[in-house]
Amino acid sequence: MYEDIFELVTIAARKKNLKESTARAYCHALSPFLNTIGKPWQELTIADVDDYLTAKRLAGIMPETYNHYYGALRFMYKRVLKLNWDEDEIPRMKRDRSLPTVLSRAEVHAILDVTTNLKYKAIFAVMYSGGLRVSEATHLHYDDISRSNHSIHIHNTKNRMDRYTILADRTLDILTEYWFSAESPETFSFPVRQPENTWISLR
């Protein structure tokens, strides 16, 4: 029913040079809103989105989830529907900001020690060692790892900026074991598969 509006959102995202994954996330977040409102997208009003987000907020939705919906709806209303979006009238939810829980070195080693799957163990080690996002880890190439400089070159970041990060000695040892195993591909460290098959979807 809403394939046409999803296509328009995708086109608008490409014009803004957003990643394809961002466009897909927007469409995924828009789907429950459109199904809840239940009317043609050409007839949507600011009142519709205000009522929807207010109901979400009153239902106790987490700020991060609320702002995810908010971003997708704001993009559609401004870029596709060309309707006036007043951020004073429809504000984001403020998040409580607290210090993150940082695992100790012993806890990180304990996680790695109990991980029997070598590929997953290598992924976890790289993420903890260099502070990589999941998407950054799964897009690593063999040539992104510098053994001599003990560094990782990260491409395809969330904000489209390359960066370097550290490579710990134990992480390099685990990666070396993985590369010489039967599980390792010839070129990519952790090849990306279809979403339903990728390790990211494991529960």
Are 111 and 189 in the same domain? yes
Are 63 and 114 in the same domain? no
Identity of the amino acid at 188? F
Summary mean pLDDT of the chain: 86
Q: Give a yes or no: residue 201 inside a domain.
A: no
Are 55 and 136 in the same domain? no
Are 73 and 18 in the same domain? yes
Q: Give a yes or no: residue 90 inside a domain.
A: no
pLDDT tens per residue across span 133-163:
888 888 888 888 888 889 999 887 766 778 8
pLDDT tens per residue across span 3-27:
899 999 999 999 998 888 889 999 9
- Res. 200: pLDDT tops 60: no
Are 28 and 76 in the same domain? yes
Instruction: State the pLDDT at residue 90.
Output: 92
Q: Give a yes or no: residue 144 inside a domain.
A: yes
Per-residue tokens: 43: 């007839």
Are 114 and 179 in the same domain? yes
Are 110 and 190 in the same domain? yes
Are 67 and 113 in the same domain? no
Q: Give a yes or no: residue 200 inside a domain.
A: no
Range of 15's domain? 3-80
- Beta strand residue intervals within the chain, DSSP E: 145-146, 151-154, 163-166
Instruction: State the pLDDT at residue 55.
Output: 94
What percentage of the chain exceeds 70 in pLDDT? Answer: 89
Neighbour count for residue 95 (Cβ, 10 Å): 11
Task: State the Cα–Cα distance between residues 84 and 69, nearest whole angstrom.
Answer: 17
Q: What is the CATH number of the domain that holds 17?
A: 1.10.150
3-state helix/strand/coil string of 47-89: HHHHHHHHHHHHCCCCHHHHHHHHHHHHHHHHHHCCCCCCCCC
Q: Give a yes or no: residue 182 inside a domain.
A: yes
Q: What is the CATH number of the domain that holds 186?
A: 1.10.443.10
Looking at residues 57-72, what average pLDDT do you find?
A: 93
Neighbour count for residue 160 (Cβ, 10 Å): 10
* pTM of the complete model beyond 0.85: no
- Count of structural domains within the chain: 2
SS3 of residue 163 by DSSP: strand
C-beta separation of 179 from 190 below 8 A: no
pLDDT tens per residue across span 76-95:
999 999 999 998 899 998 88
Q: Give a yes or no: residue 86 inside a domain.
A: no
- Res. 96: pLDDT tops 70: yes
Instruction: State the pLDDT at residue 21.
Output: 85
CA–CA–CA angle 193, 201, 76 (5° rounding): 90
pLDDT tens per residue across span 45-57:
999 999 999 999 9
Q: Give a yes or no: residue 175 inside a domain.
A: yes
pLDDT bin (cut points 50, 70, 90) of residue 187 is low
